[in-house]
Amino acid sequence: MKRMKCIIAWLLLTALALPAHAATLLSDPQAAAGSPLPIQSITSYCTGTDGNALLDQQIWTFFQRTPGQNDQWAGQTGVDFTLQLGECSVDGLWIRNGLCMNEAGYSLYARPQIIRIALHHAGGQSQYRFLMEDRYDFSTQSAAWQNGYQRLQLPQIHANVTRIDVTLESWINGREGSEIICITDVQVTGSQGSQYPVYTPIPSQPSWQPAFTLNRPLSTRSGPSTGYNEFGTFLKAGDEIRLISRYYDSRNEIWWVQAEFTYRGVMRRAYTGAQRINGDISSLPVEQSQGSALLTRQAQPWNGPGNTYAQLGDPIPAGTQGTLWGRENGYAQFDFLDGTMGKRRRVWIEESALQQTY
């Protein structure tokens, strides 16, 4: 008996050590992903949670489940939410695990680790359990990953599915021990032959919005949070600025906007809290990471996409690693940790100085 326990323990450890390829089932189906199916409605069994956040395909809204707050209705014990379908042939689910605003937001909340799904169909009910891969990844486009969604692929296609029950069995705690479990979006696929739609990034040339006015002086930082270095305070209440994009700071629960303005005859771009802006910013595009990059040569940082913008201090050394957030006019918006300054910085440098690493 002792020998048998040791063998079982060894097998479990070996299984856990295997590299994960998105959501892992106890088999390895290889069928091509189907096209998205219409979800008629969603029912959440978690207190105070709107299940429709799972269906809007927006990365800044999400479904959350706090341990101990589900099981609200009799007959649904253990189920966190239910998707209602119209007798569809289903080959799997696609789930954006965690809050997918950015890498920092992803780790802020807990993420599902094991997800159980139960499909109700003409033949009765079929249940499967999936081990989710825990990583933020918007860059990979494959049979297992699409635009931050990872695939929960069924070992066979199930016909005439009318309902899918989803249960979050276990999870990985978020930063600072948060147990609020978060899923950004869900899609159901079937009807073999087409891949899940590819995410379209923000255009490299910004879509300019009408001028906005300030309701107070423009306090700025190089990036959209207080973790970035400060540029200073410019202009005054009533002055006009142009807004390029917006970004949700999940830690402080506020929106930031990227603004362009001229100060003392020099063009500048910087981030400021949306509370300083008069008007509705909801039409601004939401920023998303465009992948990681390595600086292959020393490069001069600028305050905007070109040498007509304010210059930002000394060149950044070759070998600096960071993240891309935009491309425009032959320049790239590069986000990195400045060890000397002890702050994150977001600057513009010549795109030719960067090598994208994923």
Place of tokens 């825990």: 134
CA angle, 305 then 307 then 312, to 5° = 85
- Rounded to the nearest angstrom, the gap between the alpha carbon of residue 218 and the centroid of all alpha carbons in its chain is 28
**Of the CATH numbers 1.10.600, 1.10.8, 2.30.30, 1.10.150, which one belongs to the domain with range 292-356?**
2.30.30
35-85 pLDDT, tens digit per residue, is: 678 888 888 887 667 778 888 777 777 888 776 554 444 344 578 889 998
pTM of the model: 0.49
Which CATH number describes the domain made up of 212-278? 2.30.30.40
Q: By the 8 A CB rule, do 79 and 45 touch?
A: yes
Q: What is the pLDDT of residues 145-176, one digit of tens each?
A: 888 889 998 888 888 899 999 988 888 888 76
Q: Can you name the CATH fold of 32-190?
A: Jelly Rolls (2.60.120)
Q: What is the pLDDT along the chain (358 residues), one digit of tens a residue?
A: 444 444 444 434 333 333 345 676 634 444 455 667 888 888 888 766 777 888 877 777 788 877 655 444 434 457 888 999 888 888 889 999 888 877 777 888 888 888 889 999 887 889 888 888 888 888 777 888 888 889 998 888 888 899 999 988 888 888 767 778 889 899 898 864 333 333 333 344 444 455 799 999 999 999 999 999 999 999 999 999 999 889 988 788 899 999 999 898 888 999 999 999 998 888 888 887 878 889 999 999 999 998 889 999 899 999 999 998 988 888 999 999 998 888 999 999 999 999 877 6
Q: Report whether 246 contacts 273 (CB < 8 A).
A: no
- C-beta separation of 99 from 184 below 8 A: yes
Strand, helix or coil at 195?
Answer: coil
Domain with CATH 2.30.30.40 in the chain: 212-278
CA atoms within 13 A on the CB side of 232: 6
Q: How far is it, in rounded angstroms, from Cα 323 to Cα 287?
A: 13
CATH 2.60.120.260 domain range(s) in the chain: 32-190
